[in-house]
Amino acid sequence: MVNRVVLAGRLVRDPELRKSSSGTSFATFTIAVDNRSKEADGTRGTLFLSCIIFGEQAENTVKYTRKGSMIAIDGSLNQRNFVRQDGSRGKE
């Protein structure tokens, strides 16, 4: 099985650069991607996808892009588990 995805969309907000406890740079951001399928009323929905990149790519993304920038991503999909404030568990 192959886990590969190519996406193109616009940044919802400026990417944020951080450092891991081991010193690795990483950036987090959200992109808005037009959904190819149509809603019941004929309009196309929008997908909001959370992304993370590492190292030099993270540093360059923060340096050269801003909210509204068009960005293309070639990577893999991962699911994240989390706990809500009320104690229930979720996935994204």
Read off the pLDDT of residues 41-71 as tens digits, 9 standing for 90 and up: 888 889 999 999 999 999 999 999 999 999 9
Determine, yes or no, domain membership for 65: yes
- What is the structure's pLDDT at 6? 94
The whole-model pTM stands at 0.79
Cα–Cα dist 83/86, whole Å: 8
- What is the structure's pLDDT at 53? 95
Determine, yes or no, domain membership for 29: yes
Determine, yes or no, domain membership for 84: no
Work out the mean pLDDT of the chain and round it to a whole number.
92
Cα–Cα dist 57/38, whole Å: 33
87: tokens are 């104690």
92: tokens are 């994204």
Show the domain range for 47: 5-75
Question: Is the CB of residue 56 less than 8 Å from the CB of residue 70?
Answer: no
